């Protein structure tokens, strides 16, 4: 994984910070939903700390 190797932390590639429904996390998102209910999720505030463009589907 050469893309993770850099001379400094600032020069390294960083993982995105996931913001799911306005909750910022670095682990799995969990929740409870009653059977038959709809769930709407938004990750539009997710970002990459090093400023790279983030694309997701």
User: Alpha-carbon distance 48 to 39, whole Å?
Assistant: 25
Residue 26: what pLDDT?
67
Work out the mean pLDDT of the chain and round it to a whole number. Answer: 79
Query: Under a CB-based contact definition with an 8 Å cutoff, are residues 16 and 47 in contact?
Result: yes
Query: Under a CB-based contact definition with an 8 Å cutoff, are residues 42 and 19 in contact?
Result: no
For residue 53, pLDDT beyond 60 = yes
Mean pLDDT of 34-47: 89
Distance of CA 4 to the CA centre of its chain: 17
For residue 2, pLDDT beyond 60 = no
For residue 1, pLDDT beyond 60 = no
For residue 16, pLDDT beyond 90 = no
Give the confidence band of 37 by pLDDT, cuts at 50, 70, 90: very high
């Amino acid at each position: 994984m050469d893309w993770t190797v850099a001379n400094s932390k600032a020069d390294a590639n960083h993982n995105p910070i996931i913001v799911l429904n306005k909750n910022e996390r670095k682990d799995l998102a969990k929740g409870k939903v009653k059977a038959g209910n709809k769930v709407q999720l938004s990750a539009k505030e997710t970002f990459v700390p090093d400023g790279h463009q983030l694309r997701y589907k």
